[in-house]
Amino acid sequence: MNIKERIIVPLDVPDEQAAIALIERLECVTFWKVGLELFTSTGPKILEVLKSRQKRIFLDLKFHDIPNTVAGATRAAARYGVDLLTIHASSGKDALKAATEAAYVGATDAGVKPPKLIAITLLTSISSRQLAFDLKIPLELPEYAQHMALMAQEMGFDGAVCSPQEVSQLRQTSGDDFLLVCPGVRPTWADKGDQARSLTPAQAFKAGANYLVIGRPITADPNPELAWKRIIEELVT
């Protein structure tokens, strides 16, 4: 897998028209993330657009509910034939186990390959202070993220979303086959925005990340094509 296929660009736009415009402007991008805003706006239609252009899809809906509801949502999403699908690890073991079973059933019924299930450990906008004082979780942030990822792995998940700063430790404890997907990655020349726990793309890959989600440094740039090219060049040199 070349470096371009390991970078996922979010379609964080409000509607189908804006999404298609971005896809066409960044034709070189092969892996796109569809999140809550766009999916709520367009439904599965945007997934059909991406698949018609032979793009890979990270459906980042972050399911978080009781086991029966998580299973139903996962079963439905698995029918779309997406590559990656996210579920909050904090939904608990029963929900995670139900999701693994439902993903297989939904994909099999639709005659497509099951998505890789990716656990959300902790949103990258959450700092150590917020974890302790706002969420009242007594664990240190890296320890909490690792616990969530390993719990999901135990329940049959294929990988986890985590801050790049937790990647190195998670790679050591989860092994080589567990996928680690890192948002909040920021090139040295980009504004960190609301990402509290960030590394550069090169640092994140070196730490053991399989995929990087890089959004605003590319999509918010006045020249997104040039920003994409700049990131790729920094990674291959």
pLDDT, position 195: 46
Segments of the chain scoring below 50 in pLDDT:
194-195
Integer-rounded Cα Rg, in Å, for the chain is 17
Look at residue 193 in the predicted model and tell me its pLDDT: 58
CATH number at residue 94: 3.20.20.70
Q: What is the pTM of this model?
A: 0.94
What pLDDT shows up at residue 189?
75
Domain that holds residue 100: 3-236
Q: Which pLDDT score, from 0 to 100, does residue 125 have?
A: 83
Residues 157 and 223: their CA atoms lie apart, in Å, by 37
Catalytic residue chosen out of the listed positions 4, 55, 62, 116: 62
Q: What is the pLDDT of residue 1?
A: 75
Q: Nearest CA to 154 among 98, 93, 213?
A: 93
- Our CA angle for 77, 56, 37, nearest 5°, is 55
3-state secondary structure the chain: CCHHHHEEEECCCCCHHHHHHHHHHCCCCCEEEECHHHHHHHCCHHHHHHHHCCCEEEEEEEECCCHHHHHHHHHHHHCCCCCEEEEEHHHCHHHHHHHHHHHHHHHHHHCCCCCEEEEECCCCCCCHHHHHHHCCCCCCHHHHHHHHHHHHHHCCCCEEECCHHHHHHHHHHHCCCCEEEECCCCCCCCCCCCCCCCCCHHHHHHHCCCEEECCHHHHCCCCHHHHHHHHHHHHHC
pLDDT of res. 166: 86
- Count up the domains in the chain and report the number: 1
Look at residue 206 in the predicted model and tell me its pLDDT.
Answer: 93
Q: Is 62 designated active site? A: yes
